[in-house]
Amino acid sequence: MDKMILRGMEYYGYHGVFEEERKLGQRFYVDLELELDLSKAGATDDLTQTVNYAEVHELLQGIMRDESFKLIEALAEHIASKVLDTYTNIDALTVKLTKPHPPFDIHFEGVTVELHRTRK
């Protein structure tokens, strides 16, 4: 299966277990790996035969900005569901969601969840 990979999309969102996280917000990074047939788009040079990644970015930006989840697991699940619901030509996807600065007293690069979902 062909893939379209969107890496390092940065968003500001209001997600987290702690009230301050949901009030003040913080940065998140999203990587998407979309599995779909790209042969028609490659042969025709026609945007309607693929997924417009600018539109995917806009969809994610709205989710990250306008919705709120306590768990990044729930946020990643919601992203996967919305992308699959919106783009019927995507057969499967992988969402990698990173919270780079969780509010802990220890230093580490962040926490990431990764999930793979297929069209049912």
Give the residue numbers annotated as catalytic, written as ranges: 99
Cβ count near 14 (within 10 Å): 16
The two three-digit tokens of residue 49, written as one number: 């035969």
Closest-CA residue to 15 (of 84, 92, 71, 78): 71
Q: Rounded to an integer, what distance in angstroms lies between the CA atom of residue 69 and that of residue 14?
A: 8
CB atoms within 10 A of CB 27: 14
